[in-house]
């Protein structure tokens, strides 16, 4: 299942608004604005994994991958298998 970046961004903006009670821009630093905790970061990881069938592990768990909706959408896009991907490295 490959999902467009726009769809992921829309979903994440909705998720953030529901969970935080405020409206977000795609380039807003959701942790730099204060009020969001590392526990919330784990909620984001679980949401992304369940919603998009990805596994966020190791180096991908860096906070920088979760600071903005744009960065989260890019992470999802990078971790999702492409059509015809057999799981190999391809390079």
What is the tens place of the pLDDT at every residue in 4-39?
889 999 999 999 999 999 999 999 999 887 767 888
pTM recorded for the entire structure: 0.83
pLDDT band at 90; cut points 50, 70, 90 = very low
For residue range 56-88, list pLDDT tens digits in order.
999 999 989 999 999 999 999 999 977 555 554
> Is the distance from CB of 54 to CB of 80 less than 8 angstroms?
yes
Contacts of 79 (CB under 8 A, 6+ apart): 52, 54, 55, 56, 60
64 touches 71 (CB < 8 A): yes
């Amino acid at each position: 299942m490959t999902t467009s970046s726009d769809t992921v961004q829309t979903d994440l903006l909705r998720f953030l608004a529901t969970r935080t009670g405020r409206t977000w821009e795609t380039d807003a630093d959701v942790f730099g604005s204060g009020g969001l905790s590392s526990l919330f970061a784990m909620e984001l990881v679980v949401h992304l994994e369940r919603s998009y069938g990805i596994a966020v592990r190791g180096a991908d768990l860096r906070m920088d991958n979760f600071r903005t909706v744009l960065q989260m959408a890019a992470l999802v896009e990078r971790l999702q298998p492409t059509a015809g991907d057999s799981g190999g490295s391809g390079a």
